[in-house]
Chains A and B, each alone.
Chain A
Amino acid sequence: MANASIIQFNNVTKQYDNDPPVLDNVSFEIERGKFYTLLGPSGCGKTTILRLIAGFMEPSKGEIFFNGKKINQIPANKRQVNTVFQDYALFPHLNVFENVAFGLRIKKLKNADIQAKVKEALSFVNLSGYENREIREMSGGQRQRVAIARAIVNEPEVILLDEPLSALDLKLRTEMQYELRELQRRLGITFIFVTHDQEEALAMSDEIFVINKGTIQQSGTPTDIYDEPINRFVADFIGESNIVSGKMKKDYLVEFVGREFDCVDMGFNLNEPVEIVIRPEDLEITSLERGKLQVKVDSQLFRGVHYEISCYDKDGNEWLVHSTKKANVGDEIGLYFDPEAIHVMRLGETEEEFDRRLETYADVDRHGK
């Protein structure tokens, strides 16, 4: 698959003076034609990765490859990538046409070619007819589109998007998520999208890199990351989670909140301490007797598609439930969940070890059949 790889980071570190590194020994590969998302809280290093790819900064250590060539020293204006900036960075002294044409004019294309390409790029982002508008006359969503058109018109191999939707209101943001995804499929260009919004990441990406404190915590498809978070940070950051500590009694049996439950995880040491994740939507409200857990309803919020119910068990653990059924605050209720709903996380496991363990499950499944 080396052929499909377009960007490669080998042990890249970025550090300013003696501060703790912004990016700590990061290695990954980006494949051609996919939609990638770098997801993490602010200050985690995701924008640093983007700026390293764009060429606005150089790594302190490590190597960056683009199409197999080392590009550490190559300045931004010589790279085959274009960026859509968070604040769009449109040139206020130029109109829409000239903003989009900026890169083409620098390449000294013929005027007729520029006309044709800008027209095509603007129609790609549904802005045909806006050529002569000034930037200040455009709304936030329209400016966003101009910024995208300005990037795609140069036909780069990779487009970098730095939280481009964060300034838009919710409805427009959802709309733009669809459009961006659609655009990426039509163009077939690699998109690298930076965001701190996990829903955005899950909805749009082929691959997500979850980043925290300068390291990649986990990478994988949205479903992988949502269903099999590697650690507490990922579980907490991607979606809502109930996380409690427990102990793996033996394969397929786990103990937490003082009780033993059947589960589908294996390959742990006997009595290994672990963390348990159960997603709020996997918890079902039922009667006290039928419930695997007995909890008291503490508060309830109506979220539109569901109720968000916060409960406490007698040990004081909080259990968050997403349910279409309403509960009554103060009631004692039972919570039911399937063995598949329990996700067991090993403490301090690296991504490689985690992947290896998941592969042994797959082997067992195959042999079992």
Chain B
Amino acid sequence: MENKLTRNLYKIPYLLWILVFVIVPIALVVYYSFFDIEGHFSLGNYRKFFTPVYLQMTVSSFWYAFLITAISLIIAYPTALLLTKTKHKQLWLLLIIVPSWINLLLKAYAFIGIFGTYGAANSFLKVIGIGQQQILFTDFSFVFVSVYIFIPFMILPIFNSLNELNPTLIDAANDLGASKWTTFRRVIFPLTIDGVKSGCQVTFIPALSLFMLTRLIAGNRVITLGTAIEQHFLVTQDWGMGSTIAVFLIIIMVLIMVLTNTKKRGV
């Protein structure tokens, strides 16, 4: 009896957390999404979401999130592969992880300094003879900084799955006649796909709703769903429309989670 009681006691913090920070906020977001700017109940926000303005914003969000995820993956996979082969792999991994502990805002400001008109990047371009360029407030700088920020989160799960890979399997593939590339294509990559998937999840989903970087680095030239939500809540005070976009974001995130989550295979 006491056992059951203590078990129930343990559940309290968890249940409270879920209720206060997950269920109630989502319920509130859904609730607000049914009210227009005057506070009248309406489905207008949902109708508005399907107008070209918001659809374009959705497509643009997806496009940038996709770009950021794809570039991160292309850089992260070979890096993780290289890291697993080094002698002090945990140390090298740590060095890559450490920057992710620094506050995002600080890093954004650092990049404003680097990419600014009189920043280090432009000085370098001048030295090599290309001359001063507009780097800040471009698509390039937005994608570059986002990739920089997300790369540790992409590397970590891929590194872990590569690290767990039984090295004898690589010997076995070799033994059966597979070249290095075939071994990668037929054994290493398929067996680390779970790491790739979770890396893509933790990059793509937050990248969909980036808003601080869009303002600071992209100078509001890149408008994503995240920016739209921020604008509606803080500038236009249209909480209803902001909530509606949030509802769609939540639905999209859940869909991505479901689609990229496959049952774990193992022996």
B175 in contact with A83 (CB, 8 Å): yes
Q: In whole angstroms, what is the CA distance A32 to B171 when docked?
A: 25
Q: In whole angstroms, what is the CA distance A203 to B41 when docked?
A: 86
> A297: CB under 8 A from chain B?
no
In the complex, what residue of chain B is closest to A134 when comparing beta carbons?
Answer: B265
In the complex, what residue of chain A is closest to B180 when comparing beta carbons?
Answer: A77
A82 in contact with B176 (CB, 8 Å): yes
Residues of chain A within 8 A (CB-CB) of B177 are 77-78, 103, 106-107, 154
B interface size (C-beta, 8 A) = 20
Main secondary structure on chain B at its contact with chain A? helix
> B105: CB under 8 A from chain A?
no
Q: In whole angstroms, what is the CA distance A107 to B173 when docked?
A: 12
Q: In whole angstroms, what is the CA distance A54 to B182 when docked?
A: 18
Q: 0/1 per residue, B254-267, Cβ < 8 Å to A?
A: 00000000000111
> A28: CB under 8 A from chain B?
no
Q: In whole angstroms, what is the CA distance A54 to B168 when docked?
A: 13
Q: In whole angstroms, what is the CA distance A135 to B265 when docked?
A: 10
> B190: CB under 8 A from chain A?
yes
* Given A76-B171, A89-B171, A106-B182, A150-B176 contact (CB < 8 Å): yes
> A87: CB under 8 A from chain B?
yes
Residues of chain B within 8 A (CB-CB) of A86 are 168
Q: In whole angstroms, what is the CA distance A135 to B166 when docked?
A: 15
In the complex, what residue of chain B is closest to A81 when comparing beta carbons?
Answer: B175
A106 in contact with B171 (CB, 8 Å): no
Q: In whole angstroms, what is the CA distance A77 to B180 when docked?
A: 9
B175 in contact with A82 (CB, 8 Å): yes
Contacts of A66-119 to chain B: CB distance below 8 A: 75-78, 81-83, 85-87, 89-93, 102-103, 106-107
Residues of chain B within 8 A (CB-CB) of A93 are 190-191, 265
Q: In whole angstroms, what is the CA distance A319 to B191 when docked?
A: 55
B267 in contact with A92 (CB, 8 Å): yes
Shortest CB distance B183–A (Å) = 8
Shortest CB distance A213–B (Å) = 25
Shortest CB distance B230–A (Å) = 42
B177, B186, B190, most chain A CB atoms within 10 A: B177
Q: In whole angstroms, what is the CA distance A81 to B267 when docked?
A: 26
> A56: CB under 8 A from chain B?
yes
Q: Which of B169, B176, B267 contacts A106 (CB 8 A)?
A: B176
In the complex, what residue of chain B is closest to A90 when comparing beta carbons?
Answer: B267
In the complex, what residue of chain A is closest to B179 when comparing beta carbons?
Answer: A77
B171 in contact with A56 (CB, 8 Å): yes
> A136: CB under 8 A from chain B?
yes
Residues of chain B within 8 A (CB-CB) of A87 are 166, 168
Residues of chain A within 8 A (CB-CB) of B191 are 91-93
Shortest CB distance A94–B (Å) = 8
> B174: CB under 8 A from chain A?
yes
Shortest CB distance B169–A (Å) = 5
Residues of chain A within 8 A (CB-CB) of B175 are 54, 56, 76-77, 81-83
Q: In whole angstroms, what is the CA distance A182 to B171 when docked?
A: 27
Residues of chain A within 8 A (CB-CB) of B174 are 55-56, 75-77
In the complex, what residue of chain B is closest to A154 when comparing beta carbons?
Answer: B176
Q: Which of B168, B178, B179, B190 contacts A85 (CB 8 A)?
A: B168
Residues of chain A within 8 A (CB-CB) of B182 are 106
Residues of chain A within 8 A (CB-CB) of B173 are 91, 102
A92 in contact with B172 (CB, 8 Å): no
Q: 0/1 per residue, A44-69, Cβ < 8 Å to B?
A: 00000000001110000000000000
A136 in contact with B171 (CB, 8 Å): no
Residues of chain A within 8 A (CB-CB) of B267 are 90, 92, 135-136
A102 in contact with B166 (CB, 8 Å): no
> B29: CB under 8 A from chain A?
no
> B216: CB under 8 A from chain A?
no
Shortest CB distance A93–B (Å) = 5
Q: In whole angstroms, what is the CA distance A81 to B169 when docked?
A: 16
Q: In whole angstroms, what is the CA distance A226 to B82 when docked?
A: 50
B171, B172, B173, B175, most chain A CB atoms within 10 A: B175
> B187: CB under 8 A from chain A?
yes
Shortest CB distance B262–A (Å) = 11
Q: Which of B171, B178, B179, B266 contacts A92 (CB 8 A)?
A: B266
Q: 0/1 per residue, A302-338, Cβ < 8 Å to B?
A: 0000000000000000000000000000000000000
Q: In whole angstroms, what is the CA distance A121 to B225 when docked?
A: 57
A136 in contact with B266 (CB, 8 Å): yes
Residues of chain A within 8 A (CB-CB) of B169 are 89, 91
* Given A77-B177, A91-B187, A106-B178, A85-B172 contact (CB < 8 Å): yes
Q: In whole angstroms, what is the CA distance A103 to B182 when docked?
A: 11
Shortest CB distance A145–B (Å) = 15
B172 in contact with A89 (CB, 8 Å): yes
B176 in contact with A92 (CB, 8 Å): no
* Given A92-B265, A92-B267, A85-B176 contact (CB < 8 Å): no
Residues of chain A within 8 A (CB-CB) of B265 are 92-93, 134, 136
Contacts of B144-195 to chain A: CB distance below 8 A: 166, 168-169, 171-179, 182, 186-187, 190-191
In the complex, what residue of chain B is closest to A75 when comparing beta carbons?
Answer: B174
Q: In whole angstroms, what is the CA distance A215 to B245 when docked?
A: 73
B172, B176, B182, most chain A CB atoms within 10 A: B176
* 13 residue pairs from A and B, CB less than 8 Å apart: A55-B174, A56-B171, A56-B174, A56-B175, A75-B174, A76-B171, A76-B174, A81-B175, A85-B171, A91-B191, A92-B266, A93-B190, A135-B267
Chain A residues at the B interface, C-beta cutoff of 8 Å: 54-56, 75-78, 81-83, 85-87, 89-93, 102-103, 106-107, 134-136, 150, 154
Closest 10 CB pairs of A and B: A103-B176, A89-B172, A89-B168, A76-B174, A92-B267, A106-B177, A83-B175, A93-B190, A77-B177, A136-B267
